[in-house]
Chains A and B, each alone.
Chain A
Amino acid sequence: MKNTLEIDRLSTYFYTEEGTVKAVDDVSIRVREGETVCIVGESGCGKSITAMSVMGLIEGTTGKVVNGKIGFDGENLLDLSKNELRTIRGNEIAMIFQEPMSSLNPVLPIGQQITEPLMQHQKLSKKEARLRAIELIKQVGISRAEQIFDSYPHELSGGMLQRIMIAIAISCHPKLLIADEPTTALDVTIQAQILDMLREIKEKSNMSILLITHDLGVVAEMADYVVVMYSGKVVEEGEVVELFNNPKHPYTKGLLKSKPIINQRQEQLYSIPGQVPNPLSLKESCYFHERCAQCMSICETQQPKLKEVGGSTQKVACWLYEEGIADV
């Protein structure tokens, strides 16, 4: 299968008054055609910054992509000019965000916001764009499409707005959809609708999805392949079933154990002790060592590399799986 997106050794740093934050530190992620890859991790692990780097949204004086390649369709997105990037953004790569309310312009009717990219990227006439927009609104499961076409964002609920965002995102048949916590702000019953719909659209159009979430339940439902991030680093990745059934990294294990599951009762929840380290005071070490029950002396001084284990696609960055070290 062809790779749609190839993030290769990406590093994105933020320069603050107190020091440099390595928000994304040497991260490689590959998304194949028609595949859903989930980046999972807690706040501050760099999952959203990775997505923003792909979209070229890291701008301004404080943040900068300092290293790496973002391969899309044989081109390195980081080498493209702003104009070239604009023809790709919203056209071949689309993005939806956590807060649909703030991503739509409150003073423009919904219809206009859907037709604009159609007219710009697909060169449709106004009339054609309107027809296509109404078709799209129907496709995302909204029945009164004509009526919605003329309404304003504040007249719709959060779930409806997220549907509209998805309609805009898929309007130009993107090859890749980046979804940054698309259902976090929504209620569970609405989340179920949106996830169902995303899966359906993906199957029909063979689009790739890069889904960013903190919810392991959503990951299990959506992902083909999972990337676990911690403090700006990928600590583990693999096929979803393999990773959930046989997590290798102590962090992944802890994360999976600490989530209560419906109809699987336990007396005491497992919890990972401590908290995420301050990104300003990271030293050469495994960034998880302070919270790890299996911490060894090497973990405090050297950073483990992401390596394949057990001849499968699963990769883990942990000294426990380095030959000759775990035994010592």
Chain B
Amino acid sequence: MSEPLVEVNHLKKYFPINSGLLNRTVGHVKAVDDISFSIQPGETFGLVGESGSGKSTVGRTILRLHDKTAGEVKFKGIDVHELSGKELRQIRPQMQLIFQDPYSSLNPRVRVGDAIGEALLDHGMLQKGEIRDRVEEVLASCGLSSYHYDRFPHEFSGGQRQRIGIARALVLNPDLIIADEPVSALDVSIQAQIINLFRHQQETRGLTYLFISHDLSVVEHLCSRIGVMYLGSMMETASRDELFRNPLHPYTKALLSAVPIPIPKLKRDRIVLKGDIPSPANPPTGCKFHTRCPFATAMCKEQVPEFRHVGHEHYVACHLV
């Protein structure tokens, strides 16, 4: 196998909980708690999980929008968290982020063309006079028009704004794009447009994606490999076909069976999980899923299951497999 583009090894990210008059740290939210995975060039790695699973934090820690607590993040073999400020800024164009909210991720007072083109200037990639052509080219490839260049974000709909966000990332010719729930704020008909755009851009530019989403049907459609997270831990990773055909972890099974399918009167064996997702500030001992797992045993309460290889590039963290 070729050298992975991204390698995440035993990554931890704890956020301190401060309280009291002196702002003392009274505990930690273990948003990401010892996670490892790698992303091969050209693939789309999907990160799935419910709220509080830490999937977004993983994405942002890879980009060093957050500083790690422990572990390492390697991008093209370079440890991103060891770079100086200057080196980091130079490497930034190669890894880009696409946000969930197409409204707050665009500055309302910056023209669309400037928002897309300004990074080219700052990285000295193009001269001032060359920018407009390049930006218009990217706008066109994202399904927008050249006359959108001088518009302001408020003149666009949610779907179009998301296209602008994608164009802003693509203009730098990145190798990796981390997409953090890029379609969950959009309407169904617009969602499909954006998903197709992601696909199309990957085919023409040979991009690598880390696609973060809570929507399993979207992840299945786009991703070649998928990791399932729960409360900051990776529960299962496998190729798409393997994961959907042969899910091993009870959480993955429950998650898959919980997705509503638009076929009426469909008979399904649904595993309805009991209870709520525990707080990541105070996660259960042992296997974090044992409080909701229909098959939990005494061992699950005490021992943290190892993240094991079970064949076919399929990894799972469960005592019962």
Contacts and interface: CB of A to CB of B under 8 A. Distances in A.
Nearest to B256: A262
Contact of B218 (A195, A196, A260): A260
**How many of chain A's residues touch chain B, expressed as a range?**
35 or more
A245 to B, nearest CB: 8
Contacts of A275: 157, 159-160, 190
A289 B221 CA distance: 29
B244 to A, nearest CB: 6
B144 interface: no
B258 to A, nearest CB: 4
Contacts of A266: 221
Contacts of B216: 188, 262
A7 to B, nearest CB: 23
**How many of chain B's residues touch chain A, expressed as a range?**
35 or more
A260 B220 contact: yes
**DSSP class of B's interface residues: helix, strand, loop or mixed?**
helix
A187 B187 contact: no
Contacts of A192: 257-258, 260, 270, 272-273
A160 interface: yes
Contacts, number: 128
A33 B139 CA distance: 52
Contact of A268 (B196, B214, B263, B277): B196
B201 interface: no
A215 interface: yes
Interface string B92-111: 00000000000000000000
Contacts of B17: none
Interface stretch (A70-78, A131-139, A218-226): A218-226
B260 A258 contact: no
A241 B217 CA distance: 21
A297 interface: no
Interface of B: 50-51, 157-160, 187-193, 195-196, 199, 214, 216-218, 220-221, 244, 254-266, 270, 272-273, 276-277, 292
Interface of A: 42-43, 157, 159-160, 187-193, 195-196, 214-221, 223, 240-241, 244, 254-256, 258-263, 265-266, 268-273, 275-276
Given A188-B50, A259-B217, 17 more contacts: A42-B187, A43-B158, A43-B187, A188-B255, A188-B259, A189-B258, A189-B273, A190-B277, A192-B258, A192-B272, A195-B260, A215-B260, A216-B188, A240-B264, A241-B264, A268-B196, A269-B195
